[in-house]
Amino acid sequence: MASFIRRQVILTLFSAALVLCTAMAQLSPAFYASTCPSLPRIVRSTMAQAVNREPRMAASILRLFFHDCFVNGCDASILLDDTATFTGEKNAFPNGNSARGYEVRSSTPSNPTSKLLAKRPCTCADILALAARDGVALLGGPKWRVQLGRRDATTASQSDANSNLPGPSSSLANLISSFAAKGLSARDMTALSGAHTIGQARCTTFRSHIYSDVDVDPGFAALRQQNCPSAGGDDNLVPLDLQTPNRFDNEYYQNLVAKKGLLHSDQELFNNGTQDSLVRLYSVNARAFARDFAAAMVKMGAISPLTGTNGEIRLNCRKVN
């Protein structure tokens, strides 16, 4: 029985790796080198302006990319607006009144009328991948080479957005399995969760953790309760990272070791479980975290991309052509 299970696990890992490798093989950092060489520069300067205006924008765009990739692949489906005849993902439970940053995306030229991109417009999915990387780098985080060549979806799925994205009350087992379903390891999951070193969360997402969980530092719980009453104030915001919410560093893991994780799901990574030793490593070794985060972002960005002639190059990111 044990060897059967082991064989199944190895087979599953192997097929996940194969899917990932096939996807990677179709994407390339040089995809726009001849057709649109200025694309990375345009995205970088748009992000620099946006993050300069509001540092949180780096966090919001990073989260948009995660929420896009986890729902049927990195295909910009999250950017499609709802219409009378089309239900997109923007109002799915994890996104509605929560995901933000859509407007930065729209201000990056991506249509054929733009002079710079006239020869061949790039896709919304690729712009989102570049923007997520640039936002992290602008707040002092690692850089990585973004694989490009994704096409844009012509469909979206609100129900998949509701079921595929892990929620803040997830257990460690849930977190590991929801990332495994996307071909990402527990190590990838723990490194990617370090994205919570930037950005903010609403009271409704962490209330039960600071009032009812036992794996919380009492002083930290009391501090957060000041901005998050036991009833009401659902949309009150607090930073996910206690001290440096606008700096992409490894403090998130130091918080977890001190039992100062904001979300229940954050603290699950350091609660006498399998990820404790990795959290400890990242808490003292910022380089190990930066390296693993960058590698995991490349893997996440390769989840089920549409390539070749699949999908389309959307002229307006908010609607199908």
Question: DSSP of 248-279, one letter per residue?
Answer: -SSHHHHHHHTT--SSHHHHGGGSSSTTHHHH
Q: Which residue lies nearest ligand HEM, judged by its C-beta?
A: 199
What 3-state class would DSSP assign to 200? Answer: strand
Of 32, 56, 60, 67, the catalytic one is 67
63 binds ligand HEM (CB under 6 A): yes
Query: Which CB atom, from 117 or from 178, has the smaller least distance to ligand HEM?
Result: 178
* Helix (H), strand (E) at residue 161: helix 158-164
Per-residue string for binding with ligand HEM, 31-60, x by CB under 6 A?
A: -------------------------x--xx
The CA distance from 127 to 156, in Å, is: 18
Establish whether 81 is an annotated binding residue.
no
Tally helices (H) and strands (E) across the chain.
14, 2
Cβ atoms 47, 214 nearer than 8 A: no
CB atoms within 10 A of CB 257: 15
Establish whether 85 is an annotated binding residue.
no
Binder to ligand HEM among 42, 127, 195, 242 (CB under 6 A)?
195
67 is known as an active-site residue = yes
The CA distance from 128 to 122, in Å, is: 11
273 binds ligand HEM (CB under 6 A): no
Query: Which CB atom, from 16 or from 313, has the smaller least distance to ligand HEM?
Result: 16
Cβ atoms 112, 98 nearer than 8 A: no
CB of 13 to ligand HEM, least distance (A): 20
Binder to ligand HEM among 133, 150, 151, 196 (CB under 6 A)?
196
Q: Give contact residues for ligand HEM (rule: CB under 6 A).
A: 56, 59-60, 62-63, 66, 98, 100, 166-168, 170, 175, 189, 192-193, 195-196, 198-202, 205, 240, 263, 265
User: Catalytic residue positions?
Assistant: 67
